Structure 1
Amino acid sequence: MTRSLFGTDGIRGTANVEPITAETVLAVAKAAAAQFRRGDHRHVVVIGKDTRLSGYMLEFALTAGFTSMGMEVVLLGPLPTPAVGMLTRSMRADLGVMISASHNPYQDNGIKLFGPDGFKLSDEVERAIEARIAEGGTAAPLAPPDKLGRTQRMEDALGRYIEFVKNTFPRPLRLDGLKIVVDCANGAAYRVAPKVLYELGAEVIPIAVSPDGFNINRNCGATVPSNMQEAVVAHGAHLGMALDGDADRVILADEQGRVVDGDQVMALVARSWNQSGLLDKNGVVATVMSNLGLERYLDSIGIELIRTPVGDRSVVERMRSDGYNVGGEQSGHIVLSRYTTTGDGLIAGLQVLAALVQDGRPASEVLQVFEPLPQLLRNVRLQVSSSLDQVLSLDMVQHAIQNGERTLGESGRLLIRKSGTEPLIRVMAEGEDETLIDRVVGDIVSTIQEAAA
């Protein structure tokens, strides 16, 4: 069966509107418990969340579902998504859940499920959970009264994650003398990120650390890094870090306030780890959206770039299957599987800070690892998602795409893809000639709009 409830990264939608309702989330918890309840041991699920108001509703619905199936529930409170993956594995739990809609506004929410190994669930397991729900039951009995699960709060979850993150920073190094701006997006890392940086010796300028249930990602964080950039310049900071709502991605700014994206971070980490013998398989996994300049730079130093479809889960699956330990997305999801099972914005930021400390030069010099090629992305919105394939298959659209590929030749790259969440066709081109890129994208966009009219 195909998945209808789970998307590319768990279940997501508007809070208190299907599927993000207490009733549906309760059913998901019961079905997931049935899927992972094996043997006679004490079954445990850990649940973390970000700072959205609707997190309380979903937390209680999940707790009711899991305890009704006889699972013990450990509530972590507000913590980053990678902390849930780490604690699921560390506690030998049967399941982990993160309540978050990542970089979306407060009115959205969602749930991400982690298996006992701390990795997000595979498509196969998600389909199995959906099948249990579709069958109208859990395919496993509810627990009898004497076997109901208990619920407890883990009081030291924050401290456990802080120590875990600090231990990824090279032990001989400290951040003394560095002033760092950290924008926590009024989200899940609002307490942990400033503490980690402070305890490693930095002078910390925290912003967006006053969540009220409604202001997560609002004009702040990784998707709106301008406040962080301005604060870096205003405070004379050495580096700025902007996390998103669940802190699994990071966007950086150098001391001049200029943005540094995930491609530059991957290039820096790959080069550093390759020199120190830590880079596995002599390769980096990135998505089709990463800049061609990254690919050319890595090739110049003998490192292969392996591309996957968009989405950090696609990156992680390829890393796991082929044994790579550095991967990520241009948008700031950086996966360092030497330490984590998913993207971790804070740990990625610490790897950059380690390079700054060791190099001794300003961030503007250290983080400009390669010269990115001009890249242009435009979205074409259609009436309904079902028409995307039909429009793309039309002869006039295919002809325009082929013309664009011929125009760019070997000096550029063209990518046409459907959005996985909206009725959009995304048209992206990159190459050495910015004017040419603009013309190629404009011609294809115009043709798609004409074909869809």
Structure 2
Amino acid sequence: MARKYFGTDGVRGKVGTFPITPDFAMKLGWAAGTILASSGTKEILIGKDTRNSGYMFESAIEAGLSAAGVNVAFVGPMPTPAVAYLASTFRADAGVVISASHNPFYDNGIKFFNNFGTKLNDEQELEIEALLDQALNNNAMQCVSSELLGKARRINDAAGRYIEFCKAIFPKELTLEGLKIVVDSANGAAYHIAPNVYAELGAEVISINDKPNGLNINEQCGATHLDSLQAAVLEHKADLGIALDGDADRLMLVDDLGSVVDGDQILYILAKAAKLQGNMHGGVVGTLMSNLGLELALNDMDIPFKRAKVGDRYVVEQLKNTGWKLGGEGSGHILHLDYATTGDGIVASLLVLTALIQQKQSLREYVAGMQKLPQVLLNVRLTKNNADEILNTDGVKQAVVEAETVLANTGRVLLRKSGTEPLIRVMVESTDSVVSQAQAEHIATAIKKLL
């Protein structure tokens, strides 16, 4: 059964447009509270990023949870992985994150973590949706009696707790002293956390995009816009740059020459480090979008590689199915289940820094062992939510066949709809960047003709 409201990363959309409305959020809170806190402590944590609509949705979700008889603990602006961690350590029934991750400020979203700090599975989301539909269609949201209403409290030391958790990832015998690091927090949830983590471990930190005003989250900064980080690394002659996105579950890096190191390359770094340390248990899980260069580099090290559907939840599922620990996406969602239950940009960066220091190499030197194949990704924005219909048309299918004929055995084509936005993503990868670009545009043109 297909999910109606939940996408690959919770419920997400434009603020004020269904389902990202206060009324929906309140009923979603009630339905989720009823399902997720049916027994036990009956407390759910709520965290958010820095977009101004977070205040509104925080209140709406609290009202719904309270009506379901669930207590609420607020942690304030906090990275998504921090909420997952805190929900587990506080032994809460669940955690809620109000965030649209890398999207602009006018979008927002709501996602849930269970009491183990992992994202809900499809069955749990369908169960919540079934109860939510009753509240939406039949006004069947039932409020518990007054003496059973949920209460609210604020966890004032949440940021400090998470900073200490992150620092504990870094080996005690090592230090970041002597490293100059530029940190771009995307004016997002990690603005008051990430710079402190690296500084307290000894690094000289230049912090940029760390002054959120509710509207500037991800605005030409962070993991999806690296120009300002590249410029700052060169200006300050830094050893490397670290970029997070709005909720800090993504990581992108910049080396000392300003070159971007993406999620696929980060996976290579961590896999190589594990191999060198004798800790590479199993293999690596990527996605359908992972660069072929990653797969080839892992093969050279005799490290198995599997591809999951796009979305970190599917990477986690594949990791659990295989018993492996390391996986992620080229966009910078990096998972290492020995250290965190979900994608965590700060944790992943500390694992990279550990590898660099142990091998006495720069980021540029360490990543040189992986050669990326030219990969072109074009996003075609739709005028309505009809991606499946478009992807099944003869014209689009024919364009894909034509592109694959041109590529022959030198590359691959992948078309997929976005799970969070009205987009069709066209990816073409081959040994020739000019050919990749031309064939991606050929397919994108076929799609645009149907809009």
Same fold (TM over 0.5): yes
CA shift digits 1:257-299 (9 cap, x unpaired):
1111011100010111122233332x11111111111111101
2: CA distance, partners of 1:243 / 1:313: 19
2: CA distance, partners of 1:23 / 1:439: 46
2: CA distance, partners of 1:279 / 1:142: 51
SS at match of 1:385: coil
Map of 1:436-447 to 2, 5 A cutoff?
436-447=435-446
Contact 2:54 2:98 in 1 (8 A): yes
1:81 is displaced (CA, Å) by: 0.3
Residue 190 of structure 2 aligns with which residue?
189
User: What letter is aligned with 2:239?
Assistant: H
User: What letter is aligned with 1:241?
Assistant: I
Map of 1:110-129 to 2, 5 A cutoff?
110-129=109-128
1: CA distance, partners of 2:297 / 2:384: 40
1: CA distance, partners of 2:114 / 2:3: 18
2: CA distance, partners of 1:383 / 1:30: 32
SS at match of 2:120: coil
1:405 is displaced (CA, Å) by: 2.2
Change (3 A) 1:390 1:184: closer
Change (3 A) 1:438 1:50: closer
Contact 1:34 1:140 in 2 (8 A): no
Residue 62 of structure 2 aligns with which residue?
63
CA shift digits 1:398-422 (9 cap, x unpaired):
3332232233233212212233344
Bigger shift: residues 9-18 or 347-356: 9-18
**What number of residue pairs does the alignment pair up?**
449
User: What letter is aligned with 2:107?
Assistant: D
Residue 44 of structure 1 aligns with which residue?
43
Where structure 2 has 5 or more consecutive residues not aligned to the other structure, the ranges are none
Residue 216 of structure 1 aligns with which residue?
217
Contact 2:9 2:420 in 1 (8 A): no
Matched, 1:400 2:396: no
Contact 1:98 1:113 in 2 (8 A): yes
Change (3 A) 1:401 1:47: same
CA shift digits 1:225-270 (9 cap, x unpaired):
1111111111111110011000000110001111110111000101
Residue 241 of structure 2 aligns with which residue?
240
Matched, 1:78 2:77: yes
1:426 is displaced (CA, Å) by: 2.7
1: CA distance, partners of 2:390 / 2:145: 54
Map of 1:270-289 to 2, 5 A cutoff?
270-281=271-282, 283-289=283-289
Residue 26 of structure 2 aligns with which residue?
26
SS at match of 2:215: coil
Bigger shift: residues 210-219 or 358-367: 358-367
Residue 300 of structure 1 aligns with which residue?
300
CA shift digits 1:43-100 (9 cap, x unpaired):
1111111111111111111112212222221111111000011111111110100111
Residue 312 of structure 2 aligns with which residue?
312
2: CA distance, partners of 1:421 / 1:196: 30
Matched, 1:14 2:18: no
Change (3 A) 1:37 1:424: closer
Bigger shift: residues 157-166 or 138-147: 138-147
User: What letter is aligned with 2:163?
Assistant: I
SS at match of 1:135: helix
Contact 2:15 2:107 in 1 (8 A): yes
Bigger shift: residues 321-330 or 410-419: 410-419
Contact 1:222 1:250 in 2 (8 A): yes
Give me the TM-score of the superposition, normalised by structure 2: 0.94
1:33 is displaced (CA, Å) by: 1.0
Where structure 1 has 5 or more consecutive residues not aligned to the other structure, the ranges are none
SS at match of 1:255: coil
1:396 is displaced (CA, Å) by: 4.5
Change (3 A) 1:401 1:129: same
User: What letter is aligned with 2:84?
Assistant: G
1:448 is displaced (CA, Å) by: 4.0
Residue 353 of structure 1 aligns with which residue?
353
Residue 264 of structure 1 aligns with which residue?
265
Change (3 A) 1:63 1:423: closer
Residue 202 of structure 2 aligns with which residue?
201
2: CA distance, partners of 1:399 / 1:239: 44
CA shift digits 1:141-176 (9 cap, x unpaired):
533222222211111111110111111112211100
Change (3 A) 1:15 1:418: closer
Matched, 1:154 2:127: no
1:363 is displaced (CA, Å) by: 2.1
Contact 1:284 1:326 in 2 (8 A): yes
Change (3 A) 1:379 1:68: closer
2: CA distance, partners of 1:146 / 1:414: 59
2: CA distance, partners of 1:442 / 1:389: 20
Residue 129 of structure 2 aligns with which residue?
130
Contact 2:240 2:363 in 1 (8 A): yes
2: CA distance, partners of 1:154 / 1:449: 49
Instruction: Say what the alpha-carbon RMSD is for the aligned residues.
Output: 1.9
Change (3 A) 1:247 1:411: same
Change (3 A) 1:156 1:383: closer
Contact 1:34 1:138 in 2 (8 A): no
User: What letter is aligned with 1:306?
Assistant: K
1:359 is displaced (CA, Å) by: 2.1
2: CA distance, partners of 1:106 / 1:14: 9
Map of 1:86-105 to 2, 5 A cutoff?
86-105=85-104
Bigger shift: residues 221-230 or 15-24: 15-24
1: CA distance, partners of 2:72 / 2:421: 34
Change (3 A) 1:212 1:441: closer
User: What letter is aligned with 1:190?
Assistant: Y
Contact 1:385 1:422 in 2 (8 A): no
SS at match of 2:416: strand
Bigger shift: residues 70-79 or 375-384: 375-384
Contact 1:132 1:138 in 2 (8 A): no
